[in-house]
């Protein structure tokens, strides 16, 4: 059985694991991401792979990067949370490692991981929606990962959902992720707490009386413990997600939507409002088949597992 190394490169950490053909992680390591320095990022990946390679017979390396990857799957054209611009990461790493290297967008890699080994193992068409700081997306159609003409497809977080809405880091206004992401969840909760809303009093108390102390995990924990305001915030987020997903599926018609990312830890407190929002806005309403919406199974390792497996495809 051949082993591949999967690397997940983000703005705060670089995770790497040795993955077998069944999607099992044999060993895993993590290091901080030197996000402001291209050379340091490459050096960190090289060091991580070298340590894993010292103990395992690795045949190839798959790297998932939070950024725009060109169609040839070699150049990181742009990464919003790292100082990476037009970097031929494939060529550089192959020279450093003397191994075949495959580069993929991190959400695409996660979608492939869930398709092969996780929540989507039983379908041929899948939409992955990762809900974290922003919104990421990955699409599998007819059993193939969809990338688009220029390699940057499935950037669903930047669908325009509110004309002349909130400014987004991509340069446009009114993007999906400005209303349906973990950042949006926190922004709305902090705004309510800042106005002295009695409904937000308990959550504010959990944050030590400072609205800036309200975080996504704090809201999720409070909701799990029955805090009505926290539950309402997750329900509002779920409604935004469900309605946006309905528009996306009007184009893609997947069999399954998988919800991943940190906010998915809210489980049915988020998933049920997503399902309700989707059902209310799906084109054709009850005349259109109701697809399944499931929580991702592989957690934050989906990108690592998917990147490793893509080296075999």
As a whole number of Å, the end-to-end CA separation of the chain is: 15
Least confidently predicted of 28-37, 95-104, 123-132, 268-277: 28-37
β-strands 256-260, 135-141 pairing? unpaired
Position 135 pLDDT exceeds 90:
yes
C-alpha 83/C-alpha 250 separation (Å) is 35
Q: In terms of C-beta density within 10 A (0-12 exposed, 13-18 middle, 19 or more buried), how is residue 226 classed?
A: exposed
pLDDT at residue 286, rounded to an integer: 79
pLDDT at residue 282, rounded to an integer: 87
Position 218 pLDDT exceeds 90:
yes
C-alpha 245/C-alpha 247 separation (Å) is 5
What's the mean pLDDT in 117-129? Answer: 97
Contact 159, 176 (CB under 8 A): yes
The secondary structure of the chain in percent helix, strand, coil, rounded to multiples of 5, reads 45, 25, 30
pLDDT above 70 coverage of the chain, percent: 100
The SS3 assignment for 167 reads strand
Contact 279, 238 (CB under 8 A): no
CATH placement of domain 123-295: 3.30.420.40
Tell me, yes or no, if the two domains 3-113+301-310 and 123-295 fold the same way. yes
C-alpha 200/C-alpha 26 separation (Å) is 44
pLDDT at residue 289, rounded to an integer: 83
Confidence label for 66 from pLDDT (cuts 50, 70 and 90): confident
What's the mean pLDDT in 112-137? Answer: 96
Give kind and range of the element (H or E) at residue 309.
helix 302-310
C-alpha 23/C-alpha 100 separation (Å) is 19
Confidence label for 12 from pLDDT (cuts 50, 70 and 90): confident
pLDDT at residue 81, rounded to an integer: 73
C-alpha 57/C-alpha 267 separation (Å) is 38
Confidence label for 226 from pLDDT (cuts 50, 70 and 90): very high
What's the mean pLDDT in 287-297? Answer: 91
pLDDT at residue 199, rounded to an integer: 95
Ramachandran angles phi, psi of 118, nearest 5°: -120, -135
pLDDT at residue 206, rounded to an integer: 96
Question: If you average pLDDT over every residue of the chain, what do you get?
Answer: 94
Cross-strand bridge partners of residue 4: 19, 60
What's the mean pLDDT in 66-85? Answer: 89
In degrees, rounded to 5, the angle at the alpha carbon of residue 68 between the alpha carbons of residues 70 and 172 is 130
What's the mean pLDDT in 156-165? Answer: 94
What's the mean pLDDT in 86-99? Answer: 97
For residue 182, give the DSSP letter.
H
Q: What is the pLDDT of residues 183-213, one digit of tens each?
A: 999 999 999 999 999 999 999 999 999 999 9
Q: What is the pLDDT of residues 247-259, one digit of tens each?
A: 999 999 999 999 9
pLDDT at residue 33, rounded to an integer: 81
The SS3 assignment for 254 reads coil
Inter-CA distances, 116 with 20, 21, 112, 247, 251, Å: 13, 10, 6, 25, 23
Of the candidates 150, 153, 175, the one whose C-alpha atom is nearest the C-alpha of residue 162 is 175
Boundaries of every domain in the chain = 3-113+301-310, 123-295
Position 225 pLDDT exceeds 90:
yes
- Tell me which of 11 and 103 has the higher pLDDT: 103
Least confidently predicted of 42-56, 58-72, 283-297: 283-297
What's the mean pLDDT in 139-146? Answer: 97
CATH placement of domain 3-113+301-310: 3.30.420.40
């Amino acid at each position: 059985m051949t082993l591949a190394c999967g690397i997940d490169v983000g703005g705060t950490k670089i995770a790497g694991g040795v993955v077998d053909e069944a999607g099992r992680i044999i060993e895993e390591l993590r290091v901080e991401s030197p996000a402001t320095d291209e050379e340091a990022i490459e050096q960190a990946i090289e060091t991580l792979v070298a340590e894993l390679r010292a103990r395992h017979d690795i045949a190839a390396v798959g790297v998932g990067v939070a950024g725009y990857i060109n169609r040839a799957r070699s150049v990181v054209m742009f990464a919003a949370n790292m100082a990476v611009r037009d970097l031929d990461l494939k060529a550089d790493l192959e020279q450093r490692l003397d191994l075949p290297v495959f580069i993929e967008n991190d959400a695409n890699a996660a979608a492939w991981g869930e398709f092969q080994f996780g929540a989507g193992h039983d379908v041929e068409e899948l939409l992955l929606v990762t809900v974290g700081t922003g919104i990421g997306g990955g699409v599998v159609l007819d059993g193939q990962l969809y990338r688009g003409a220029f390699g940057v497809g499935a950037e669903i977080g930047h669908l325009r959902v509110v004309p002349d809405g909130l400014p987004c880091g991509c340069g446009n206004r009114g993007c999906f992720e400005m209303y349906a992401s973990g950042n949006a969840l926190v922004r709305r909760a902090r705004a309510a707490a800042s106005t002295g809303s009695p409904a937000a009093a308990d959550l504010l108390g959990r944050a030590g009386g400072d609205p800036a102390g309200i975080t996504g995990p704090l809201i999720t924990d409070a909701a799990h413990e029955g805090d009505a305001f926290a539950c309402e915030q997750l329900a509002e987020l779920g409604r935004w997600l469900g309605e946006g997903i309905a528009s996306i599926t009007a184009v893609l018609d997947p069999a399954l939507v998988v919800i991943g990312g940190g906010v998915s830890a809210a489980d049915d407190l988020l998933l049920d409002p997503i399902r309700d929002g989707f059902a209310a806005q799906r084109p054709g309403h009850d005349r259109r088949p109701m697809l399944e919406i499931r929580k991702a199974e592989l957690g934050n390792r989906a990108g690592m597992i998917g990147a490793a497996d893509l080296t075999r495809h």
